[in-house]
Amino acid sequence: MPRLDHAPWLRDGALARLLAALDGDGEEARVIGGAVRNALLGEPIGDIDVATTALPGEVTRRAQAQGFKAVPTGIDHGTVTVVIEGRPFEVTTLREDVETFGRKARVSFGRDWKKDAERRDFTINALSVTRDGGIHDYTGGLADLENRRIRFIGDPAARIAEDYLRILRFFRFHAHYGEGLPDHAGFVACISARAGFATLSRERVRAELLKLLLGRHAVPVLAVMSECGLLISVLGGVAQLASLSNLAKIEHAMGQHPDPVRRLGALAVLVPDDAQRLGERLRLSNAEQQRLASMGDRWRGIAPEASGRSARALLYRLGPERFTDRVLIAWSRSQAGIADTNWRALSELPQHWIIPVFPVKAADFIKRGIEKGPALGAALAAAEAAWIAQDFPADEKALTAIIGDAMNAAKRE
């Protein structure tokens, strides 16, 4: 049996205590899924899921006997979330299909690890490991990991019919873990079932797409999806693959963590209206949609040769995040390469210039005779515009002159 020998995360700490509580006295527990896959690939390990032969009630009893918190987060599906030292672990009882009909399946709790593995989506996600490091592979996942191949378990069409989101998951996992062209049988099944996108909730599509955009092979995978008509079904518009490719290279060259919303903007937002379309299709949050709209707004007017004054003015108006978004989007659509020093200097401005606070207050006008109301608001707006245009002066003489000019303008109106 293959083994996972160098895995302190498996043998120490909260997880080891959980497995010790669940494994034994007639029951077995293993870590399953993504944690096993990532450990074998040397990738960072995120959430750790545990599968067990024990029924949910027994899981709860054993967890509580050890002083752990047990929360019935998905009890109908056999899932109990066990919290140890503030860290949650999803513990799910083995399941097997009793009857399948169309996209539905009636399941029951079981004790057969092989049948449970065969219910999962991809072979690399069906690996399990015992607490002593023994790896169990019922579907060929180890060979697929070695070959960097994402392959459905069993009949791809049947797996997809169970949940059409698996179309996006197929491409998302290939973007993160695959190499070369996608598995042919899986690819053909995804194309054949693409009409199933219409049945999916927009929130689920959004979550998968944003994860896909972070994959190291996101651009070639999205190119394949575009060529076969899948990507337009997701975005509802033309994809800007060159912009996304350039943005990914810029992020890497600058040592920035990939940002999924910014990458979505590079891929699909040319004008602010595109952000509204994406917001509706993907049910984006208001903050995400507004950020995308900012990326599509006047990015063509940004040039690295612009004066430092105009760059500071833009940073002041947009704030660091949206300034960086817009500059990187403009850079990704320019003719400049990733080594361009002018673009780099512009994009790094938020790291070197602290945005000042507008020093003029309403009280500065009130004590000079401007009453509260529209005139006061107009005076403040005029003063701020002049302050920005003069490159944010801080000396008293300049500020007094700005206030005076703003008052005169307000009185004329």
- Please check whether residues 104 and 26 belong to one and the same domain: yes
Final residue belonging to a domain, choices 183, 211, 235: 235
- Please check whether residues 397 and 387 belong to one and the same domain: yes
338 touches 253 (CB < 8 A): yes
Q: What is the pLDDT at residue 76? A: 83
**Nearest to 365, CA basis, from 379, 378, 384:** 379
Can you give 258-275 as a three-state secondary structure string? CCHHHHHHHHHCCCHHHH
- Please check whether residues 389 and 336 belong to one and the same domain: no
- Please check whether residues 153 and 186 belong to one and the same domain: yes
- Please check whether residues 201 and 325 belong to one and the same domain: no
- Please check whether residues 134 and 157 belong to one and the same domain: no
Final residue belonging to a domain, choices 207, 235, 263: 235
Total domain count for the chain?
A: 4
Final residue belonging to a domain, choices 333, 355, 377: 355
Q: What is the pLDDT at residue 408? A: 80
Q: Which domain holds residue 391?
A: 362-412
- Please check whether residues 250 and 276 belong to one and the same domain: yes
- Please check whether residues 8 and 118 belong to one and the same domain: yes
- Please check whether residues 113 and 20 belong to one and the same domain: yes
- Please check whether residues 32 and 125 belong to one and the same domain: yes
Residue 244 region, left (φ>0) first, then alpha (ψ -120 to 50), else beta? alpha
Q: What is the CATH classification number for the domain harbouring 165?
A: 1.10.3090.10
- Please check whether residues 141 and 256 belong to one and the same domain: no
CA dihedral 217, 223, 226, 231 (to 10 degrees): 20
pLDDT, one tens digit for every residue, the chain (413 residues): 798 888 888 988 999 999 999 999 999 999 999 999 999 999 999 899 999 999 999 999 999 999 999 999 988 889 999 999 999 999 999 998 665 544 455 568 999 999 999 999 999 999 999 999 999 999 999 999 999 999 999 999 999 999 999 999 999 999 999 999 999 999 999 999 999 988 999 999 999 999 999 999 999 999 999 999 999 999 999 999 999 999 999 999 999 999 999 999 999 999 999 999 999 999 999 999 999 999 999 999 998 887 789 999 999 999 999 999 999 999 999 999 999 999 999 999 999 999 999 999 999 989 888 888 888 999 999 999 999 999 999 999 999 999 988 888 766 66
- Please check whether residues 67 and 5 belong to one and the same domain: yes
